[in-house]
Chain A
Amino acid sequence: MTKRWALVVVAGALAVAGCSSDLPDETTTASGSPTSDASKSKFFDQTEYNRQLAFRDARPQGPDGKPWEQMLEPELVDTARFAKPGGNYTLCFSNAAVNNPWRQVGYKTMQQEVKLHPEITTFTVLDAEAKDDKQISDIQSLSTKNCAAIIISPNTTATLTPAVEQACATGVPVIVFDRGVNTSCPVTFIHPIGGFAFGADGAEFLKEKVKPGGKVLALRILPGVDVLEQRWAAANEIFAGSGLDVVGVEFTDGDAAKTKSIVADYIQREGQIDGVWMDAGATAVAAVEAFQDAGVDVPAIVGEDQQDFLRLWVDEGLTAVAPTYPTYQWRTPVIAALKILKGEQVPKEWVLPQPRITGDNVKDYVKQDMPPLHYAMCGCEDMPGYPGPWR
């Protein structure tokens, strides 16, 4: 696209002008020197890090076996002023996007959750197609649609904050989930524990499984996205004190071919890689294949809960862990909306458990008949109609 050409021209001009050394600072992190002693990421927040790590061991409140209804250390708020008994609700949802498998699985789960509740007569959904400006106008138009409650999954944090505040001002209860906003006006903000815990789950696993001094390759999708940056910040923090040698931190753009090439290059360059950390599991299968195609053993690897990776894990007997960012969180906003409309208390910040899949329980999550990109932690297996809509 034209952007690519513009990039080329700019990049070329930079390099010609001798400024190529100004290029992004991962040139230093990837230049062979270990990054484990690199300074902390600016996305690192010690208080939040400690809080999230503590959440992992906290005992959730709520029904057993239904993590989407559970809450960690909730601070309940009163919602009596929103009570609107009688049913016949129009539930409204402004969705950031459905442009990746995670969001697709989540959105389907949410649609099925809505079907479970006959008191919701209309479910109005506007898809912002990953555009901030579209979501802002979506939220505005929802305020004229006679919504009983508005669920918002914000595209970005800062830009959507004023729009969420406007929605709150209409007096309709607002529920935010997944990514947050910089305002406390929504009745509840629903999210799993968070990125620090996710990153730490993987890094701690490698710390345990890889011998001291072992070489770890860190693969990230792209810089600058706060959720992903938090994952890396936590991993970086753990690697720093681990004695592991982080031989490279590379960006894959979430592209399987690029991931495979990068891993193959590192196997050649380092002779051996003892662990692979990933900030998201979508390309984990490509990373594993790179080891297989190079004819070497697959080392300890961090993936995610997508079926293709879980199947490979079981079939090949990998040493792996899968931190999850559970898609069952898409069920919770609907449940929360109905609680609020009944006047029941909900937590101000609804923190959901964020399980990880380990070698002990991976077999429970493998579903041979589901598509390869399906996320196992959807909490959808017991829903009526499963597995039809998720296929």
Chain B
Amino acid sequence: MTWRPRLAEGTAPVLVVLLLLLIGLAIAGPAYDEPSGYLALLKRAAPLMILAIGQYFVIVSGGFDLSVGALVTAGVVIAARLIDGSESATAWVILLVLGFGLLVGLVNGLVTTKLLVPSFIVTLGMLLVLDGAIFLWTGGAPRGALSAGFRMFGRGAVDVPVLGEVPWSVLILLAILVAAALFMRGGTGRALVAVGDNEAAVRLSGGQVDRLRLLAFVLSGLLAAVAAILLGGFAGVSAQVGNGLEFRAITAVVLGGVLLGGGRGSVVAAAAGALSLEALFTLLNLLGVSGALESAVQGVIIIVAVAYASLGSGVRQRLRLWPKQRNVARPAQPASS
């Protein structure tokens, strides 16, 4: 079996950016002389990368999911309240948190597709609903505590042959990333991109646009719940844990060269965008740049990346280093699954 890496369009630039940042880290920080430093970075970036993968599904199919940050907070707060330090409750609470993410995604998707409310508005509404509900429920002060078993996924590590100690979150991330990449290579994944590119064409060729959109939101909600489990594990209970994450995830996706409005971009690039963002912030911190600049940096990235994308294919064509097959702009094919 001959396998060669096929990079989807838009993946190369972000990988170059990521490589430069990693080289920068190696120069700036003594901790990055050995693999453990990068593993720590990957561990910290894992929740954002998972969120970015979820956000990618929604954005590439032509929508937005602004509710993921509030969903992460809700997941952590609910888990802490229900587990309340008892180890035996861990397993079913994890399932419940995942189910909650699924449910929120389902509601987002149904309102978007059936009631025809723009996803920007639906998920903004969901953000406010979740924020308000969490506040009402907790009074701003989360109660309860997470068990060690719950926190293991975000905090602990497992012995892997050859690699040594690998954080759980990194393994979870890799599993999700591989699954997402395979999914996007398949028929459903391609149809999802096609929906973002040209909805009418997909509909006319027999694709189930609503079902695909719904799937994107459900995946985003589910992955936000996974991110909540990792983040809650990483740092414990907090009612601020999800603040601003939706925006970070969107920045990451855009940085990965995914077109806002959908129809173009790869999921690996979106995850790489998230890792680049985290690497960039780590680098800025190592260089002694204040954390207050983070939001400014995010703003610049989003403007520059969107401007670059909207310059048009002509400029991109000239900027492109090597010709590449476009696997996304083919005539849309019907969903095969």
Residues of A at the B interface (CB closer than 8 Å) are 1-2, 4-5, 7-16, 20, 23-24, 26-27, 29-32, 97-101, 103-104, 250-251, 253-262, 264-265, 268-269, 271, 283, 285-286, 289, 293, 308, 371-373
B296/A14 in contact, CB under 8 A: yes
A1/B291 in contact, CB under 8 A: no
- B282 contacts chain A at the CB level, 8 A cutoff: yes
Report B264-311 residues with CB < 8 Å from chain A CB: 282, 285-286, 288-293, 295-300, 302-303
Q: Can you list 7 A-B contacts with CB-CB less than 8 angstroms, sorted by A residue number?
A: A8-B247, A24-B292, A99-B140, A99-B141, A251-B291, A256-B238, A371-B145
A12/B299 in contact, CB under 8 A: yes
Q: Which residue of B lies closest to A260 (CB)?
A: B235
What are the residues of chain B within 8 A of A261 when measuring CB–CB? 44
Q: Given A32-B288, A257-B241, does the pair A269, B236 have CB atoms closer than 8 Å?
A: no
B234/A257 in contact, CB under 8 A: yes
Q: Given A101-B141, A286-B236, A371-B145, does the pair A12, B244 have CB atoms closer than 8 Å?
A: no
A19 to chain B, nearest CB (A): 10
Query: B29-37, B101-109, B185-193: which lies at the A interface?
Result: B29-37
What are the residues of chain A within 8 A of B79 when measuring CB–CB? none
- B124, B135, B298: which contacts A8 (Cβ < 8 A)? B298
Overall SS of chain B's interface? helix
A4/B285 in contact, CB under 8 A: no
Chain B contact-residue range equals: 35 or more
- B237 contacts chain A at the CB level, 8 A cutoff: yes
B234/A11 in contact, CB under 8 A: no
- B234, B238, B295, B302: which contacts A7 (Cβ < 8 A)? B295
Residues of B at the A interface (CB closer than 8 Å) are 29-31, 37, 40, 44, 85, 124, 127-128, 131, 135, 139-145, 155, 231, 234-238, 240-241, 243-244, 247, 282, 285-286, 288-293, 295-300, 302-303
A104/B286 in contact, CB under 8 A: no
A253 to B242, CA, bound (A): 12
What are the residues of chain A within 8 A of B292 when measuring CB–CB? 23-24, 26-27, 251
A5 to B246, CA, bound (A): 11
What are the residues of chain A within 8 A of B289 when measuring CB–CB? 27, 30-31
B244/A257 in contact, CB under 8 A: no
B141/A260 in contact, CB under 8 A: no
What are the residues of chain B within 8 A of A265 when measuring CB–CB? 282, 285-286
What are the residues of chain A within 8 A of B296 when measuring CB–CB? 11-12, 14-15, 20, 23
- B29, B128, B240, B293: which contacts A1 (Cβ < 8 A)? B128
> How many inter-chain residue pairs (CB < 8 Å) link A and B?
134
What are the residues of chain B within 8 A of A264 when measuring CB–CB? 40, 44
B240/A31 in contact, CB under 8 A: no
- B85, B234, B286, B293: which contacts A23 (Cβ < 8 A)? B293
A187 to B290, CA, bound (A): 45
A12/B290 in contact, CB under 8 A: no
A386 to B296, CA, bound (A): 49
Q: Given A16-B300, A23-B293, does the pair A269, B127 have CB atoms closer than 8 Å?
A: no
- B124, B155, B237, B303: which contacts A16 (Cβ < 8 A)? B303
B172 to chain A, nearest CB (A): 17
- B29, B235, B236: which contacts A268 (Cβ < 8 A)? B29
- A13, A256, A308: which contacts B241 (Cβ < 8 A)? A256
What are the residues of chain A within 8 A of B291 when measuring CB–CB? 30, 250-251, 262
Q: A12-B300, A30-B290, A308-B145 are in contact. List 12 more A-B contacts (CB 8 A).
A: A1-B127, A11-B299, A15-B297, A24-B290, A30-B291, A98-B140, A99-B135, A254-B240, A256-B240, A264-B40, A268-B286, A289-B236
What are the residues of chain B within 8 A of A4 when measuring CB–CB? 244, 247
A31/B288 in contact, CB under 8 A: yes
B236/A27 in contact, CB under 8 A: no
Q: Which residue of B lies closest to A9 (CB)?
A: B299
A285/B302 in contact, CB under 8 A: no
A344 to chain B, nearest CB (A): 35
A84 to B108, CA, bound (A): 59
A152 to chain B, nearest CB (A): 20
Closest 5 A/B residue pairs (Cβ): A12-B299, A99-B140, A32-B288, A257-B235, A256-B235
Q: Which residue of B lies closest to A269 (CB)?
A: B286
A24 to B295, CA, bound (A): 12
B302/A12 in contact, CB under 8 A: yes
A251 to B292, CA, bound (A): 8
A97 to chain B, nearest CB (A): 7
